[in-house]
Amino acid sequence: MKTYRNIIVNALVNLGDVILTTSAVALLKKAYPDARITMLVKPVVRQAVVNNPFIDDVIVFDYKAKSNSFRQMLDMAHEIRDRHFDISFSFDRKLRPAILMFLAGVPVRVGADRIFDDKPSHVTWLYTKTVHIPHDLENTLQAETYQEIVRQYTGIKDHAQPVFADTTPENDAHVDELFASLPKAEHYIALCVKGTFELKTWPKEYFVEVVKALADKYNVSFFITGAPGDKSYVDEVIADMPVPVANFCGHTSLTDLAAIFKRVDLFVTVDTGATHIAATTGVPMVTMYGCTSPKRWHPINKNAFVFTSEEPCCPCKYRAEECPSNPKPNCLWHVKPEAVIKKCEEMLDEAGAVKE
């Protein structure tokens, strides 16, 4: 196997996928232990990979479909060229980063024949080596697809887990402040109630039932995490809650979230980027899936439990208004709160036993 010392990884994808690609980066570091690895990412996910133990440098590309000028592309290509990379690995199979690697003259450009779906793409023409992904995408963890690209090219046989950026003393200090604002309790439970789109968002009414049941049985302090844009929706959810619930939406960085998940007893969430941040910390967690399948997107965490109704139409790519069972999509409404409550109680009881 040829040795490479300066590697660039393309991952112009969303937060959850970027976290999952770090498992493949870990394999790259194992295959090429003396290599310097740089990751090309969107600005919004930068915090997930800066200060990551397997990533030496990060290039941020403000990628917006149909808005970047050719001049901006050339400027970025010049920056990449000036860094003299030996090889690039594409974990996004997107045209724009593939063009960048070509224009930058990266001599070896590795990508896969498929990553997200089975549709053929001319983007592979820009690779110098296209590896084949042999497994069923929908029934294989997405992290394994990213790792398979590395395994196919390097011959390494190992598997790895995603690794999030290291937290800092500043993160811990900020989390101290947030927790100081909460009522003191025996258990602290974090919630994430809103997905990136409607068919990932478990019903508000169900979250209310979960909080009520757990508050009736345990001494619990609750708070909800999320992006700044989730704040108003979360306020609506909290308005129906039977107990006080704090709204931390917009008050945490990505690394703050990692520090938070290390402190809570339980995380109850929908399928979203924060789910995969939490998974890297090992926190006990319960995730409710809607239109996506846990066979592909299960959080990689031995303490994670997932719920899905396994509808025959899932996984799907419907918009919410197109869903055949709209306005109460079966994939969400058939995941009942009673089962979620029971699993949460089991996890809290186990956490209490450990503390004793």
- Between the alpha carbon of residue 334 and those of residues 199, 214, 317, the distances in Å are 13, 21, 18
Query: How confident is residue 355, by pLDDT bands cut at 50, 70 and 90?
Result: low
Give the pLDDT confidence of 27-44 residue by residue, as tens digits: 999 999 999 999 999 999
Q: Is the pLDDT of residue 63 over 70?
A: no
pTM (2 decimals)? Answer: 0.95
pLDDT one-digit tens code per residue, 180-227: 999 999 999 999 999 999 999 999 999 999 999 999 999 999 999 999
Instruction: Return the domain boundaries, the chain.
Output: 6-154, 169-355
| End-to-end CA separation in angstroms for the chain | 52
Whole-number percent of the chain with pLDDT over 70 = 97
**Which residue type, as a one-letter code, is found at position 310?**
E
Residues 6 or more apart whose Cβ sits within 8 Å of residue 236: 204
- Check if 6-154 and 169-355 are the same fold: yes
Q: Determine the angle formed by the axes of helices 142-154 and 15-31, rounding to 10 degrees.
A: 30
Q: What pLDDT is attached to residue 128?
A: 98
User: From CA 331, how far away is CA 310, in angstroms rounded?
Assistant: 7
Class of the CATH-defined domain 169-355: alpha beta
- The answer on pLDDT for 69 being more than 90 is no
Quick one: CA dihedral 167, 57, 103, 143, positive or negative?
negative
Residue-wise pLDDT for 110-153, tens only, equals: 999 999 999 989 999 999 999 999 999 999 999 999 999 999 99
pLDDT greater than 60 at residue 354 = no
Tell me the CATH number for domain 6-154: 3.40.50.2000
The pLDDT value recorded for residue 259 is 98
306 neighbors 323 (Cβ within 8 angstroms): no
- What is the predicted pLDDT for the residue at 239? 97
Cα gap 176→247, rounded to integer Å: 16
CA distance 244 to 19: 32
